[in-house]
Amino acid sequence: MQLYLVRHTQLAVAPGVCYGQTNLDVADSFIGDLVAVRAKIIDIVPAANFSSPLKRCRKLANHLNLQNLHLDSRLQELNFGAWEMQNWLDIPRTELDAWSHTFVDTPPPNGESFHDLYRRVNDFVTDIQKCYQNQNVLIITHAGVIRAMLALALNLPLIEAFKFELDYGGLTLLKFMPEQVSVAYVNR
């Protein structure tokens, strides 16, 4: 199975704002971003198309005219709970400092940890491997989900997944073979 992972395009949100599962819209640059993404995936023939149900991913998927699109909540970004849509500088320093040292296993207040996100992404990958062996699957999703899939593919400690910089509209390819998983490219 080959997973083609597309990160959504740029967002209409002020710099420094914490967002995750907030249902944000895309930036005014969307049409140009869409053209760039379309050029990256033009030669991919997917057996299935999946998307996060959040607006920024659905909008991209719909404008790409993806057929038989499956929305899956397991592909949503990390839930930052009480911190959603707060400026990072407005989050109490003691809370933020405590979380930043243990975010892999500790959720923000009323949110989820990166390990929680990793588990749901792992469940998603396990499920689609059963249905799409030796086929291409295109997924429109978020940076956190792509990082989790990279950690899964490379068997990385979860903290190491944050060493990957993922561009808006970037394309990542993971190849799942019987004996191994490889990363063909990141941010194409």
CATH number of the domain at 152, please. 3.40.50.1240
Domain range spanning residue 135? Answer: 2-185
Cβ burial, residue 26 (10 Å; 0-12/13-18/19+): buried
Distance CA 181, CA 65 (A): 29
Query: What is the pLDDT at residue 178?
Result: 82
Q: Which helix (H) or strand (E) holds 98?
A: helix 93-102
Q: Which helix (H) or strand (E) holds 141?
A: strand 136-141
Relative to beta strand 136-141, strand 2-7 is parallel
Strand partners, 174: 3, 183
Give the tens place of pLDDT for each residue, 90-116: 999 999 998 988 999 999 999 999 999
Distance CA 188, CA 173 (A): 9
pTM: 0.95
Give the tens place of pLDDT for each residue, 7-23: 999 999 999 999 999 99
User: Domain total for the chain?
Assistant: 1
Distance CA 107, CA 114 (A): 7
Q: Residue 21: CB partners within 8 Å, gap ≥ 6?
A: 54, 76, 77, 78, 79, 80, 84
pLDDT tier for residue 179 given thresholds of 50, 70 and 90: confident
Cα–chain-centroid distance for residue 17? 18
